[in-house]
Amino acid sequence: MDEILQYFPHLSDTQRSQFEALGHLYPEWNEKINVISRKDIDNLYPHHILHSLSIGKFITPVDGTTFLDLGTGGGFPGIPLAILWPECRFHLIDRIGKKIKVAQSIAEAIGLKNVTFQHGDIGECHNKYDFIVSRAVMQLDELIKLIRRNISGKSSNRLPNGLICLKGGDLGAELGRVRQPLIDVPLSDYFPQEYFATKDLIYVEL
């Protein structure tokens, strides 16, 4: 929890209690349904919650901004971002029903009111959103083809609507296949921990 407060010190009491609750809810659920590697559950805050919140260092959305979290798994990055931005709306989708069950149960337990959930794939999601967020679901050029129809044409934010993806490793070849304007931000720009040395945030304007 200290990692969150270090980089996001202006949280309300409600937000702090919600982030604190994740620290026991995820380990409890992970004993029943594996949504985080059991070797990594002890790193819940830096490797999953703070990693998700790196999007909050990149953009500050206006109230009412809509997000689709594609391939959310157990709720990342959608649930941490929904806590951070209570005036924005989030739709979390995943093809694995038991993972969506975990995310939905955790959201209900902490009283999140700005999230909805869907068990399915992107082809079954017909709404449009300002931004689509994702953690390393697939190659960017393939992902862009699937999601373009889900991006809203109107933007109220400083950045045009598009995709914000969290990825790791050597991205040179993958980024070279993307034709749209993009921004590549090394997460070491935000967080000095070794874990983030090979992690990037990729924004693609759509």
Per-residue pLDDT at 175: 92
Q: Which two tokens stand for residue 113?
A: 């009111």
User: Can you tell me the distance from the alpha carbon of 188 to that of 204, in angstroms, rounded to the nearest whole number?
Assistant: 19
pLDDT in tens, 151-167: 998 889 999 999 999 99
Per-residue pLDDT at 117: 98
CB 135 within 8 A of CB 77: yes
pLDDT in tens, 119-128: 999 999 999 9
Neighbour count for residue 147 (Cβ, 10 Å)? 21
Per-residue pLDDT at 31: 92
pLDDT(2) > 90: no
Helices 13-32, 97-109: inter-axial angle, 10-degree rounding = 140
Mean of the per-residue pLDDT values of the chain: 95
